[in-house]
A and B are shown apart, each in its own frame.
Chain A
Amino acid sequence: MRTSARVRGLQYTALLAYLVFLAFPFLWLLSTAFKPPRELAGLHPTWIPEDPTLANFRQAFDEQPLLHAALNSLLAAVGAAVIAVLVATPLAYVMARYRSRLTAAATGWVVVSQAFPFVLVIIPLFLVLKNLRLIDSVPGLVTVYVVWALPFALWMLTGYVRAVPRELEEAAAVDGAGKLRTLVSVTAPLLAPGIVATALFAFITAWNEFFFALVLLKTPEKQTLPVVLTHFIGAEGVADLGPLAAAAFLATLPSLLVFALIQRRITGGMLTGAVKS
């Protein structure tokens, strides 16, 4: 099909507008992070800092326990990702391979859990974790994140299991391999990339999560990065914007990097998924 030059021109203009809309807030964040206080307080803010500085980053670390918070976030995110995948993979296998009332119920739960307003879950969880003395602790947060990450982990993993041809497992069985042997040496290696992608996605979700962390973590030393970041906000003067931007930028880096790693898989998996359905 031929597209006229005029249409092409319009298309590029539109694409450019989208690119600007998507990128400009992030560029502004970067710009603010490298500006000295004098420039931030100046009358006419500029896109490119005239006198770029790293002082904001240092000040951010001085003002708030960022390193400690990052460590808490890391523990919560890694813990949630590893446990969620360990727990979800077997169930996802059953959901993809067998049909039973249980797998139907699990599928129903996955769908319904999308519609939960968090308030309705967080109040009871708050009370339950309080009784278990898991409130205000990173392990308590990890348990919540695992359950919170399960629905999409199950969705993703069932998709990946379905992509493993059943014939391969049957062939292994014909060759005399037991069920466990088949799972370990045929299915697991083929599933591994999908499992890693799912774990990384759970990591990002937990790293970015705010609401549960806000409610469950009260002691400053136990709070995760998003919660600590909100301490910067509030009565900030113009000069404090620099450290705020610096800290916000640093907190985004891990998610951005991990996401860049798995993006192709997510969008790609999505395409094949859509084609199949």
Chain B
Amino acid sequence: MVPPTEARVREPGRGAPGPGRPPRAGGPGAWFLVLPALIPILVLSVGPLLYGVSLAFTDAQSGRTEPTQWIGGLNFQDLLHDTLFWESFRIGLVWAVGVTVPQFLLALGLALLLDQELRLRWLARALAIIPWAMPEVVVGIMWRLVYNPDAGILNETLRDLGLGDGRDWLSGLATALPAVIVVGVWAGLPQTTVALLAGLQNTPRELHEAAAVDGAGAWRRFRTVTWPALRPVALSITALNLIWNFNSFALVYVLTGGGPGGRTRLPMLFAYEEAFRYGQFGYAAAMGCVMVAVISVLLAVFLAGRLRGGEDA
């Protein structure tokens, strides 16, 4: 489960009430307010992160008696030749893009529908809670039941429709990755929808009506009025979805465990096994560093796009 998109989509430093900018912090009183949060952040987040990066340059292993040694870039050299890791990386990118893009399109469609005066909107709202609030482990278990070759509803429906006997979706070499991608899309749909809906309600309604009066068709209205207003939100939520999906773990761990034959082994699963099954802390940390590098590139693209979107608006 992930926190609400509100928190993430919104930019800090904007929207402060009242004229002028906030004043500078003054006096020791501010420190007193800040320290309770600052200490855990430094000790349990910033510190471990730096420690983790430094581990990537060591031969750290679990349960070893001899002292850990600096080995420079050796882990990264090994990684370069680790075809299994790059395969996992490729799968991770396919998964992240394969989930994020349909998620965005489906969410956009749902958000546009919910922005209309339709009945049953309340039901959609209520149902959207389910994927959003559910533990990822339960989402995985639930879809295992759907995909179950014998007792699952998917194969039964296919049989009823006369579309063959169905198959074992999660252990088929060809079907496993698409099957988990569908689950990923389902799980993230509500947050993306709510974020986009917020953006939609931000579009100037008068402009929309004026365009309609001028005879602009639905598509044209969407392109010239809705999309420019929606763009910043769409961009942020998509970039964040990409990052979250690339770092995803629990869903696929429960659904397939990375199988069959590594076809769904996302980078996080690979690194987890390396660290906590084989005890290769240093090597796994190096994998984490490579993942951070890729994510940073994604973030840079996102921020650059975001700035451009701001100029247009």
A interface with B by C-beta (< 8 Å): 1, 3, 11-12, 14-16, 18-19, 21-26, 28-29, 32, 40-41, 44-45, 47, 86-88, 90-91, 93-100, 102-103, 106-107, 109-110, 113-125, 127-128, 143-144, 146-147, 149-152, 154-156, 158-159, 162-163, 165-167, 179, 201, 204-205, 207-211, 214-215, 225-226, 229-230, 232-233, 238, 241, 244-245, 248-249, 251-252, 255-256, 258-260, 263, 266-267, 269-271, 273-277
Contact = CB atoms under 8 A, between A and B. Distances in A.
Given A99-B23, A109-B41, A205-B3, A238 B33 contact: no
A274 B201 contact: yes
Interface in B37-54: 37-38, 40-41, 44-49, 51-53
Interface stretch (B73-81, B93-101, B172-180, B288-296): B288-296
Contacts of B130: 22-23, 26, 256
B146 A28 contact: yes
B128 to A, nearest CB: 6
Contacts of B38: 91, 102, 106
Given A29-B145, A273-B9, A248 B186 contact: no
Contacts of A201: 3-4
A252 B138 contact: yes
A16 B118 CA distance: 11
Nearest to B53: A120
Contacts of A11: 113, 116, 118
B276 interface: yes
Given A120-B288, A211-B250, 8 more contacts: A16-B120, A22-B128, A40-B151, A117-B247, A120-B291, A124-B51, A151-B3, A152-B8
Contacts of A270: 4-6, 9, 194-195, 198
Contact of B142 (A96, A163, A207, A248): A248
A86 B244 CA distance: 27
Nearest to A264: B125
Contacts, number: 356
A98 B25 contact: yes
Contacts of A158: 12
B55 A123 contact: yes
A233 to B, nearest CB: 6
B141 A90 contact: no
B201 A19 contact: no
A274 B202 contact: yes
A28 B153 contact: yes
Given A22-B130, A244-B141, A255-B133, A274 B292 contact: no
Nearest to B113: A15
A210 B1 CA distance: 9
B146 A25 contact: yes
B143 interface: yes
Nearest to B156: A45
Nearest to A244: B141
Nearest to B110: A18
Nearest to A263: B129
Given A87-B37, A94-B33, A98-B25, A119 B17 contact: no
B169 to A, nearest CB: 13
Given A166-B17, A252-B134, A252-B135, A146 B40 contact: yes
Contact of B40 (A87, A94, A123): A87
Interface residues of B, number: 118
A245 B201 contact: no
B133 A271 contact: no
Contacts of A47: 153
Contacts of A21: 186
A11 B121 CA distance: 12
Interface centre among A106, A119, A230 (most CB of B within 10 A): A119
B127 interface: yes
Given A47-B153, A117-B247, A274-B198, A94 B34 contact: yes
Contact of A162 (B16, B116, B150, B152): B16
Contacts of A230: 137, 253-254
Interface in B196-237: 197-199, 201-202, 208-209, 212, 233
Interface centre among B12, B129, B268 (most CB of A within 10 A): B12
A116 B292 contact: yes
A210 B55 contact: no
Interface in B65-93: none
Interface string B264-308: 000110011001100001001101110110011001000000000
Contacts of A252: 133-135, 138
Contact of B272 (A19, A119, A154): A119
26 contacts: A14-B113, A18-B106, A18-B113, A23-B130, A24-B146, A29-B142, A41-B151, A45-B156, A90-B37, A94-B33, A98-B26, A119-B268, A119-B291, A124-B49, A125-B48, A167-B18, A215-B272, A232-B141, A244-B145, A251-B135, A270-B9, A270-B198, A273-B10, A273-B15, A276-B15, A277-B11
B262 interface: no
A252 to B, nearest CB: 5
B14 interface: yes
